[in-house]
Structures are given as C-alpha cells and as structure tokens.
C-alpha cells in the first residue's frame, strides 16, 4: 500500500493516509478492522471541509453539498460488518455523486438556482444500487450547469450553485465538464469514486483533465431515471475512479453486469485487434507523442495494432447534433421537471424565465442560448429534429466508425483531450483541444473508457478507448493492460501538484 504523504497542499491528518488509495486497499483496511467506515468517512468529510469551499485552503469548489446522514450511515455499515453481514463490494466505501443525480437528502440542482430548494426525497435507481452494494453516499459534486448544455459560450466547471470548479493539478486550469466536480474530487482525494454523467464528453473530459479513470458505458446500460436529463439517446451515467479495476467494479454495481472485473485479468487483451484513430489526434504535439508511447506499450499485449481510418468531424455534424440535443432536451426536461416533487420550475420555459429574472446570478458570465433554442425547437415532433437525428446516425455509423471496424478491428483508441486549458469566465472554453473520439460514440451510444497515460507540461493526459455497444469488457481488458504496462494506477503513482494560479 503506497503512502499518500504530501498528497495535497495541506492535507487534513484524518484523511492523509487514504487520500490516494483505491478500493482494494480500502477494502483490506476495512475488512481487517484497521480502519472503520465511520473513521474513513469522517476523515474524507474533514478533508473536503478543509480544502473545498470558499475561505478554505484551496477553494476547489468540487463539492456542492455534503450528506447529513453520511456518518450515521457509515456507522451502520460498521455495525453490519461487525455482525458478519456485508451488503456488497462497496460495503462502507464513501462515494460522491454528481448533483444532477437524485440522491435523497442532497440538492439535485444540476447546478441551477432554478432547482435550489427542491431537495431530493428519493434515490435515483443508480444511487439505490450503490447503497444496496454498501456504499456511503457522502455528498454531491459540482458540475457545469445543466451538464454544460446551456450556452456555446459556457465555461466548463461553472455553475450558479457551486461556482467554478478548480483542477487540483493547477488551480487556474479547467477541471473539464460537465462532470467537473466528480473528476476533481477523485483527483483531490475526496473520495475513491464519484459518479458522473456523459452526453458528449462529460465523463471523458474531466477524467482526462484531472488524471483519473472515467468510464462512460453504453447508453441504456445504467438507468437514467432520476437523472436530470439532456438527451435520452445520448445520456449515460458512469464512474470516475482511481484505477480501471475500481471503475470496472463500480460499473458492475451500476449496471448489473458481471463480466467487467474478470476482464482486468492478465492476458485478457491478448485476442484483441486495436485500431489507432489517427484522425482523432489532439493536435497538441506532446499529447499526441505521449499517446504514441502508450500505443507502443500495449502493442505486445494485444493481437495486433492497426491504423484505423476515421474522419475529422465536419461542422455540419456538430450542428445536427445540437439540433438533436435541443429537441430531446426540451421534451425530456419538461417531463422531468413536471414530475419532480417540490415547488419551482416545472418546465424549461420556467427555467428560462427564472434565469432572466435572476440574471445577476445566473447570466452574469454567459447566456442561455441552448435553453432558449430548445423552448422554440418543437422537440422531437419537429421535422428539423427527425432529419438531424437521421443524418447524425448515418454519419456516425456509415462514415465515422463503421468502415474503421469493418476490417476486423475490435476497438478504437485515440488521445482523449489536450492538457487542461485555463479557465476563463470572460470568454468561455475557447481553447478546448481534442475530444474528437467523443462525438461519434455519443451519437451511437457507444462506451468510452478513459485511462491516464502521463503528464504533459505538468498536467495529465489520457487515452480514450471506444468500441461498439456492450463492448465494455473489451475496453476494460485493453485499459487494464495499459495501466499495468504504465506501472499501475496513475492516481497512486502521480499526485496532483496543486499549482497556484499563474499568468500566461
């Protein structure tokens, strides 16, 4: 078990020894009685209190709210363990969930003040599965407001409820989006696992930028009921964790699958043909060189490495995808808000009106263009939606990835994103680089596994691995082999530098 000394800038003593540990190490400590779940939960809560909010040492703003019942729940898990009972593979393990996922007692605001005060009274099915497996839901993480689908000028990691999430590697750099707080929290040692959601890049991006593993499963694999929606055709919840093994374990709990942990075994990747998607390189020379070295590491561990011919995504594909998302967003959010208990916004039109009435807090940095566009779109009934969705699927299936996999390639790999860019509330995310792997996978509902592969200019970069629907076990096999070839989980080898803000 590795020491986590000097893991943070001034780590709270109660959490220092566990801040970088993965689930296997924590399970060993909990099972042996060397550490109780209550001690672990208290230590991590203390760490969050010491490092996260306004006036703290760092003000990372990765967490929106803490669960009032976290410590009592952890104490119950200890009592159950002492009595010889275990709820499952996450028994007594503290986790965090993105604040667009309903967890009883937590805000569930999606970062918007329009939902503040409508505290959640019941768990989303995915949260119920975590609790059934023994997890202690410790709090809710910050996110890009409305899961980063409010404005083309948005700044990733900012919400009116939670403020701007920082990146623990460099505090003036982006934590990505929209699962910003989930990625930053795991990297910062707040919890071994956090749950995020992805519509297009929202797990992949923050995992890559914060140096943690991210796993977006096949759309439909994890239930989305109780998750504030954008798009039924693209939304997918999944874990951000410290290792491929940890992410695989949690995804088994979330999805009910039983084949992912086995895929971590040595040799599991040996039969696979991996396609290198050169058309999806990041454009950053050092990032792409780091990716090339990672490909060299996995080459002897798989059956074959081949070049995969994938196209650059044209602008019209992005325009069509926006038309699809605004059409689904208005229908799905209207249905969600009308059914959610409590007073306040009951439709997207209500949210738009609320933001206009509270422009000083909600619209001070960027507009709500996508919300306004969605209200006027006509939803799924509009011909523009139907035609855009058909074009999107045809491009993704027949042009982007179909030909690449047609020659016997099992999976595709590419750099995930460039290193984290500067957060800029004045201009938004103008310097985002990479992420090309996400769009065709988003349109088709494919899974993506993101594995850290090194540091570029002191900031993490990652490989993204994607494949056809329900190919998660193949992704795990290659991701786990890569992680082993690199010397073990990145989060236990490399600790965030907590670099202070700097000019330039």
pLDDT value at residue 503: 85
Secondary structure (DSSP) of 458-474: TEEEEEEEE-STT-HHH
> Could you report the per-residue pLDDT of 271-291, keeping only the tens digit for each?
999 999 999 999 999 999 999
Contact indicator for 316, 324 with CB cutoff of 8 Å: no
Looking at the DSSP bridge assignments, the partners of residue 422 are 173
SS3 of 210-232: HCCEEEECCCCCCCCCCECCCCC
- Quote the Cα angle for 112-119-106, to 5°: 90
What are the per-10-residue average pLDDT scores of the chain (504 residues)? Answer: 43 66 94 95 94 89 98 98 96 98 97 94 97 98 98 97 98 97 97 98 98 98 98 98 98 98 98 97 97 98 97 96 98 97 95 98 98 98 98 98 92 98 92 88 98 98 98 98 97 91 85
Tokens, residue 483: 């992680």
Cβ neighbour number for residue 282 with a 10 Å cutoff: 24
Query: For residue 392, what pLDDT is reported?
Result: 98
CA neighbor of 149 nearest in space, from 62, 63, 228 = 228
Query: Per-domain residue ranges for the chain?
Result: 13-314+397-493, 315-391
Q: What is the pLDDT of residue 187?
A: 96
At 14 the pLDDT is: 52
User: Which parts of 406-471 fold into alpha helices (H)?
Assistant: 438-444
pLDDT of residue 57: 81
Query: What DSSP character marks residue 92?
Result: T
- Count of C-beta atoms within a 10 Å radius of residue 475: 32
Which one from 156, 179, 202, 243 is the annotated catalytic residue? 202
Residue 377 annotated among the catalytic residues of the structure: no
Alpha carbon distances (Å) from 422 to 156, 164, 301, 392, 428:
10, 12, 36, 31, 10
Can you give the pLDDT at residue 9? 55
Walk across the sheet containing 304-308 and list its strands.
63-66, 136-141, 94-98, 193-198, 236-241, 213-216, 448-456, 459-466, 411-415, 273-277, 304-308
User: Has 422 been annotated as catalytic?
Assistant: no
Q: What is the CATH number of domain 13-314+397-493?
A: 3.90.1300.10
> Do 169 and 187 contact (CB within 8 A), yes or no?
yes
Instruction: Please give the pLDDT value at position 336.
Output: 98
Catalytic residue among 4, 15, 37, 98: 98
Catalytic option among 178, 179, 255, 282? 178
């Amino acid at each position: 078990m590795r020491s986590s000394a000097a893991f943070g800038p001034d780590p709270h003593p109660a959490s220092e020894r566990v801040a970088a540990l993965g689930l296997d190490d924590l399970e060993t400590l909990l099972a042996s009685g060397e550490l109780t779940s209550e001690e672990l939960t208290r230590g991590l809560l203390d760490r969050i209190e010491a490092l996260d909010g306004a006036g703290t040492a760092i003000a990372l703003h990765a967490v929106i709210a803490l669960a009032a019942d976290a410590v009592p729940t952890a104490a119950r898990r200890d009592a159950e363990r002492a009595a010889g009972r275990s709820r499952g593979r996450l028994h007594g393990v503290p986790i965090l969930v993105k604040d667009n996922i309903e967890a009883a007692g937590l805000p569930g605001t999606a970062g918007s003040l329009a939902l503040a005060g409508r505290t959640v009274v019941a768990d989303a099915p995915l949260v119920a599965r975590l609790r059934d497996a023994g997890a202690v839901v410790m709090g809710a993480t910050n996110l890009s407001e409305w899961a980063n689908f409010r404005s083309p000028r948005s700044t990733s990691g900012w919400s009116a409820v939670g403020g701007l999430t920082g990146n623990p590697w460099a505090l003036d750099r982006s934590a990505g989006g929209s699962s910003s707080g989930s990625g930053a929290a795991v990297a910062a040692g707040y919890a071994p696992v956090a749950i995020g959601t992805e519509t297009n890049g929202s797990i992949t991006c923050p995992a890559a930028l914060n140096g943690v593993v991210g796993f977006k499963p096949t759309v439909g694999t994890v239930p989305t009921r109780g998750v504030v929606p954008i798009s039924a055709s693209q939304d997918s919840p999944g874990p951000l964790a410290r290792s491929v093994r940890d992410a695989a374990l949690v995804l088994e709990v979330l999805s009910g699958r039983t084949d992912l942990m086995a895929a971590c075994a040595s040799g599991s990747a040996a039969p696979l043909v991996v396609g290198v998607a050169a058309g999806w390189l990041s454009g950053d020379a050092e990032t792409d060189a780091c990716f090339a070295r990672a490909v060299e590491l996995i080459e002897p561990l798989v059956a074959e490495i081949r070049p995969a011919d994938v196209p650059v995504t044209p602008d019209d594909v992005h325009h069509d995808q926006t038309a699809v998302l605004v059409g689904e967003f208005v229908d799905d959010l209207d249905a969600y808000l009308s059914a959610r208990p409590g007073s306040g916004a009951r439709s997207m039109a209500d949210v738009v009106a609320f933001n206009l009435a509270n422009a000083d807090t909600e619209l001070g940095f960027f507009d709500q263009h996508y919300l306004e566009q969605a209200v006027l779109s006509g939803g799924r009934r509009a011909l523009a939606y139907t035609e855009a969705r058909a074009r999107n699927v045809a491009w993704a299936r027949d042009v982007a990835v179909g030909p690449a996999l047609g020659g016997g390639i099992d999976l595709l790999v590419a750099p995930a994103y460039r290193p984290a860019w500067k957060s800029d509330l004045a201009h938004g995310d103008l310097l985002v680089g990479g992420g090309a792997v996400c769009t065709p996978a988003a349109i088709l509902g494919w899974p993506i596994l993101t594995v850290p592969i090194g540091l570029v200019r002191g900031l993490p970069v990652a490989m993204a691995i994607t494949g056809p629907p329900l190919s998660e076990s193949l992704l795990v096999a290659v991701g786990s082999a890569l992680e082993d070839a690199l010397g073990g989980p990145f989060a236990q080898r490399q600790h965030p530098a907590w670099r202070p803000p700097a000019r330039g």
